[in-house]
Amino acid sequence: MAALTLWTPPLLPTLDAELGAELRRTVDGKAKPPGALGRLEDLAVQMGAVQGRRDPRADDAVVLLFAGDHGLTAEGVSSYPSAVTTAMVQLILDGRASVNALAKAAGARIEVIDVGVASQLAPRAGLVCAKVRAGTANAAREPAMSKQECAAALDVGAAAVDRAVAAGADLIALGEMGIGNSAAASLLLHRLGPAPLDEAIGAGAGHDSAGLARKTRALETAARRCDATEPFEVLRQFGGLEIAAMAGAALAAAQARRVVVVDGFIASAAALVALRMRPELRDFCVFAHASAERGHALMLQRMEAAALLHLGMRLGEGTGAVLAFPILRAAANMLNEVASLAEVLESAT
């Protein structure tokens, strides 16, 4: 019997197969050889099917960037202290982080949500204070969250999507900031992939060999502590508050018929949790890039997902997801603006 949870994932819309087939015919009938624009054509069909529109929209794009700290850092799983989470959140709010530069280039806005930063952040523009608790517990020693805290973090993600949709967002990307969160993501991959733990652990934010060995020992200890396999229970035992929020956001975005643009290793771990709750979520997701973090390729394989971009990135923050926005806009423009082959042939006669 599955473990009793305090949170039920939302039911997701069923995509209209007839509309999908119509969109494919429309794309195939454009003034180009069928398939000549490769995956761009698939993205156009996917966006139209998700939105339930023959003319999908991709103008307004937002990155929902969830921040939270991890008790696992007490085990030395990161080469940086938890205080860096706070410093990076402030840098993002100042508009001076990598994601800010890339979002500016992609014409996207950013909302930062404090769901679990260990320190108390002062209110300021661009910051949503939705703290569930000041960082997770040490998952190597005890559950990272209580059931109530995990459910609350999932709800924080859903509420962020509600705000984004009300503000007119067409595309919603998942981003994160949280020192130690690659360790949590590795545990989620191990249990929900499933995948061998040693294949799920990478260097994170820059471990040397000694640091990687220390991280591995800590995650082995955590994995031995609990044998959970049900998605909600795995999330609350090993995940992060920001990861839970991203999982809630992914499901809420799909429920609202928005394309979910997934960033790298950490955001994909949240998508993995959400997919294990609602497998049909896969049809709503675009996996923006293949992270260089060890384990991400295996994670994508377990979700039967193909990354859009291969740029050797492994930063997080939503940086890879941001770079997918112009491609999605181009796909929508192709569907909405390119003439049909029939028009070309008619004008040529």
pLDDT tens digits along 126-149: 999 999 999 999 999 999 999 999
d(CA 305, CA 297): 9
Distance CA 268, CA 302 (A): 11
pLDDT of residue 95 exceeding 80, the answer is: yes
In the block, tokens 């099917």 appear at 49
**Residue written as tokens 């700290």?**
69
Considering the domain boundaries, does residue 300 fall inside one?
yes
Q: Give residue 5's pLDDT.
A: 67
Sign of CA dihedral 317, 321, 323, 329: negative
What count of Cα atoms within 13 Å lies in the side-chain half-sphere of residue 114? 25
Q: What is the DSSP string of 283-319?
A: GGEEE-B--SSTTHHHHHHHTT---SB-------TTH
**Residue in 41, 149, 293, 317 annotated catalytic:** 317
For residues 16 and 13, give the distance between their C-alpha atoms in angstroms, rounded to a whole number: 9
In a domain, 193, yes or no: yes
Q: What percent of the chain has pLDDT over 70?
A: 97
**Alpha-carbon dihedral sign for residues 100, 102, 105, 107:** negative
Asked if the model's pLDDT at residue 78 lies above 90, the reply is no
Radius of gyration of the CA atoms of the chain, in A: 20
Q: 49, 334 in Cβ contact below 8 A?
A: no
**Is 74 among the domain residues?**
yes
Has residue 1 got a pLDDT over 50?
Answer: no
Identify any residues that bridge with 177 across adjacent strands, giving them in sequence order: 67
Q: Is residue 51 part of a domain?
A: no
Single out the residue of 312, 305, 200, 215 nearest to residue 262, CA to CA.
Answer: 305
Q: Which residue has the higher pLDDT, 181 or 207?
A: 181
75 is catalytic: no
Whether residue 326 lies inside any domain: the answer is yes
* Rounded mean pLDDT, 227-240: 98
Identify the CATH number of the domain in which residue 126 sits.
Answer: 3.40.50.10210
Q: Say which amino acid occupies 232.
A: F
- Tell me: the pLDDT tens digits for 263-310? 999 999 999 999 999 999 999 999 999 999 999 999 999 999 999 999
User: Which residue range(s) make up the domain with 199?
Assistant: 61-334
Q: Is 42 part of any domain? A: no
Once rounded to an integer, what is the mean pLDDT over residues 309-319?
96
Q: Which pLDDT score, from 0 to 100, does residue 212 have?
A: 84
d(CA 212, CA 146): 28
- In Å, how far from its chain's centre is CA 1? 29
- Output the pLDDT for position 346: 84
- The separation between CA 123 and the C-alpha centre of its own chain, rounded to angstroms, equals 25
Distance separating alpha carbons of residues 137 and 145, to the nearest angstrom:
6
Q: Which of 4-13, 90-99, 260-269 has the lowest mean pLDDT?
A: 4-13
What pLDDT, on the 0 to 100 scale, is given for residue 208? 75
The DSSP 8-state label assigned to residue 340 in this structure reads B
Largest CA distance in the chain: 76
Q: What angle do CA 260, 57, 317 make, to 5 degrees?
A: 35
* Residue 56 in domain: no
Distance CA 228, CA 4 (A): 12
Q: Does 128 reside within a domain?
A: yes
What's the whole-number mean pLDDT along residues 5-16? 93
Task: State the pLDDT at residue 2.
Answer: 45
> Is the pLDDT assigned to residue 228 strictly greater than 50?
yes
Residue range 41-70: mean pLDDT, rounded: 98
Closest of 41, 23, 20, 22 to residue 32, by C-alpha: 41
pLDDT of 206 > 80? The answer is no
Q: Residues in the chain, how many?
A: 349
Cβ–Cβ contacts within 10 Å for residue 197, how many? 18
Q: φ and ψ at 104, to 5 degrees?
A: -60, -45
Q: Does residue 155 carry a pLDDT above 80? A: yes
Question: Which helix or strand (DSSP H or E) is residue 127 part of?
Answer: strand 127-129
Query: So what's the pLDDT on residue 215?
Result: 93
Helices 265-277 and 231-238 pack at an angle, to 10 degrees, of 150
- The total of structural domains in the chain comes to 1
Judged against a pLDDT cut of 80, whether residue 158 lies above it is answered with: yes
